[in-house]
Amino acid sequence: MPEMDGFDAAKAIRKRWPNGSPHISAVTAHALEGDRKRCIEAGMDDYISKPVRLEELASALGRVFPAAGRYEERLAEVRYWKKVVLQAFSFGRAKASTRPVITSSTR
């Protein structure tokens, strides 16, 4: 951000909305020891480091939106769809000889 970094932005949000302010989750490439603490001290509620893992994102969203509920079920869904997507991408990279051949007799 050109005007301020995420730490300053979190502090400004907390100052503007001292009671019932929005939930602030840091999604950052900073993954060094102490970065989580620095984010929390700046007024952020949560911290996720990049690259974001689907399980970690689902967990963070479940903490913010408990009414969306059933974290374990949601996590199972995320894991399922992650597997489906990864399989789809790996299929696209498969060698031509390993791809299924569709002919008029197999349709």
pLDDT of residue 70: 64
Q: Is residue 70 domain-resident?
A: yes
d(CA 107, CA 104): 5
Which residue from 27, 33, 22, 23 is spatially nearest to 6, judged by alpha carbons?
27
pLDDT of residue 107: 45
Locate 59 and state its tokens: 């967990």
- Average pLDDT across each block of 10 residues of the chain; the chain has 107 residues. List them in order: 82 85 84 85 88 82 70 72 77 50 48
**Cβ-based neighbours of 101, under 8 Å, separated by 6 or more:** none
Q: Is residue 75 domain-resident?
A: yes
Which residue from 32, 37, 39 is spatially nearest to 5, judged by alpha carbons?
39
Q: Is residue 33 domain-resident?
A: yes
| Number of domains within the chain | 2
72 and 41 housed in the same domain: no
Q: pTM of whole model > 0.85? A: no
Helix/strand/coil (H/E/C) assignment for every residue in 23-79: CCEEEECCCCCCHHHHHHHCCCCEEEECCCCHHHHHHHHHHHCHHHCCHHHHHHHHH
CATH number at residue 35: 3.40.50.2300
pLDDT of residue 93: 54
